[in-house]
Structure formats: C-alpha cells, structure tokens
Amino acid sequence: DARVTQTPRHKVTEMGQEVTMRCQPILGHNTVFWYRQTMMQGLELLAYFRNRAPLDDSGMPKDRFSAEMPDATLATLKIQPSEPRDSAVYFCASGLVGRATDTQYFGPGTRLTVL
C-alpha cells in the first residue's frame, strides 16, 4: 500500500531556528506539492515540482522558505528563520499528473509550532 511519508510528524522550535521538513512521495509519481493548513487560511499551496523541477512557488514567502527535490524520493521544505506565524500543519502530496482524472495523495502532515 503505497503512501506519502513525512518527517517529522511534530516539531516544536523557537523563533529564529531553522526548520526542515521532509517528504517521500509515492514511487513513480511525477509531481510533488507542498501545502500549508491553518485555521485562519485553510489549505494553501506553497510550491510544487514536476519531474523534480520547481514549477510554481508563488505561494511561498521567498525570503524565509525554500523547497527542493534533491532526488526523486525526497522533497524538502525549509524555513529559515522560523517565526511564530509559520505555525501550521504542512502537507506534502504527490501525484502522477497529466490527465483530468489524476488526483493527489496526501501525507499525514508535519505539525509545526514556533514559539
């Protein structure tokens, strides 16, 4: 049963610290998405990759956030320096995208708390 995995599941850190979140997409999927979920804003797309190349990161604060896919089995989202307003659940999703029937498969999320 293939699944998207994310680590860590929970992270508590202090303001100003670097945070790295990792995602392992489902093997064979060509697209990886990063979303952020908060009570106030709901689910928002931060960035996504197609065949490891960044396609759109317009939803991401560029000054402190960065997203990469060093290889097909790993996507990372980094925040440096972190701020209390970054507290949220960060989801990674992957999909084999290219047709109108394609869906995305979500990981369990990383719950980030910045004190």
Partner 1 sequence: KQEVTQIPAALSVPEGENLVLNCSFTDSAIYNLQWFRQDPGKGLTSLLLIQSSQREQTSGRLNASLDKSSGRSTLYIAASQPGDSATYLCAVVLTGGGNKLTFGTGTQLKVEL
- Footprint of partner 1 on this chain (CB under 8 A)? 4, 31, 33, 42-45, 48, 50, 55-56, 91, 93, 95, 97, 100-109
Query: Buried (b) or exposed (e) across 37-74, using 16+ Cβ within 10 A?
Result: eeeeeeeebbbbbeeeeeeebeebeeeebbbebeebee
Q: Which is nearer to partner 1, 16 or 98 (CB)?
A: 98
Provide the minimum distance between the beta carbon of 27 and partner 1 in the complex, in angstroms, as a whole number: 18
Report yes or no: 8 and 21 within 8 Å, Cβ to Cβ: yes
Q: Which is nearer to partner 1, 11 or 95 (CB)?
A: 95
- Output the CA angle 9-12-17, nearest 5 degrees: 115
Q: Which is nearer to partner 1, 83 or 102 (CB)?
A: 102
Q: Which is nearer to partner 1, 15 or 43 (CB)?
A: 43
Token pair of 23 as six digits: 């995602």
Provide the minimum distance between the beta carbon of 20 and partner 1 in the complex, in angstroms, as a whole number: 19
Provide the minimum distance between the beta carbon of 100 and partner 1 in the complex, in angstroms, as a whole number: 4
> Can you tell me the distance from the alpha carbon of 115 to that of 107, in angstroms, rounded to the nearest whole number?
25
